[in-house]
Amino acid sequence: MITLPTKRSTPENYNPRLLVLFGKPKSGKSTIMAAIDNNLIVDLEDGYRSLSVMAVQARSAKDLLEIAMAVRKRINELGGEYPYDYITIDNATRLEEMCLEMAADDYRKTDMSYRKETGLKWGTKRDEKGNVVIDKSADIRLLPNGSGYFYLRNAIKNVIDVYRKLAPTLILVAHVKDKQIKFGLAA
């Protein structure tokens, strides 16, 4: 049987497992992240040079994996204790770009990626010697009916899931895109 509350609960000191902080560029998000003690910042855009932080640079999905493995190794050395209270990934737009290659690789592993007209998997081509190579210009987001976003979403989710296990709280910093709508009559 359900018991309905009769008074407000007492608040707890609670940090979320995942926090998404977003705002316009240059609105102070990085400054806030820099103020958090014991926060490892995974800097995807070299945006913390003017701040005193614990930051590590990542420029590719491979870098993200190496950083995660290094933190996992440190957790093991500490007997399962987290070396950081927080890990921040800054920023989500760049994270999406880094995950494009992972998403394309995942899609190429499916039978759906086979292209009958070329005899090749999607996102591959033949080089001047006739070898099958990855086509760097292929964009998973351009698959018909938006189907590539499924693979991109999964790639991003996989990165987030890996990092969520490395600290009590994972913070994802994101920018909002400010679109300007002009009102009035055209002159």
Regions of the chain where pLDDT drops below 70: 178-187
- Report all structural domains of the chain as residue ranges with CATH numbers, in order of start: 18-175 (3.40.50)
Parallel, antiparallel or unpaired: strands 132-134 and 124-126: antiparallel
Q: How far is CA 161 from CA 65, 119, 146, 164, 172, in A?
A: 12, 35, 23, 5, 12
- Residue 136: the pLDDT is 85
Instruction: Provide the 8-state DSSP code for 4.
Output: -
Parallel, antiparallel or unpaired: strands 114-115 and 120-121: antiparallel
- Residue 143: the pLDDT is 92
- Residue 71: the pLDDT is 98
- Residue 20: the pLDDT is 93
Q: Give per-residue burial for 18-39: e unless 16+ CB within 10 Å, then b.
A: eeeeeeeeeeebbeebbeeeeb
Give the Cα separation of 179 and 92 in Å (integer).
18
- Residue 182: the pLDDT is 61
- Residue 114: the pLDDT is 85
Full-model pTM:
0.82
Q: How far is CA 94 from CA 2, 145, 173, in A?
A: 46, 24, 10
pLDDT tens for each residue of 139-183: 999 999 999 999 999 999 999 999 999 999 999 999 887 665 566
Answer for the pair 155, 102: CB distance below 8 angstroms, yes or no. Answer: yes
Give the Cα separation of 41 and 31 in Å (integer).
12
- Residue 180: the pLDDT is 58
Answer for the pair 123, 134: CB distance below 8 angstroms, yes or no. Answer: yes
If one counts every other C-beta atom within 10 angstroms of the C-beta of residue 113, the result is 17
- Residue 53: the pLDDT is 95
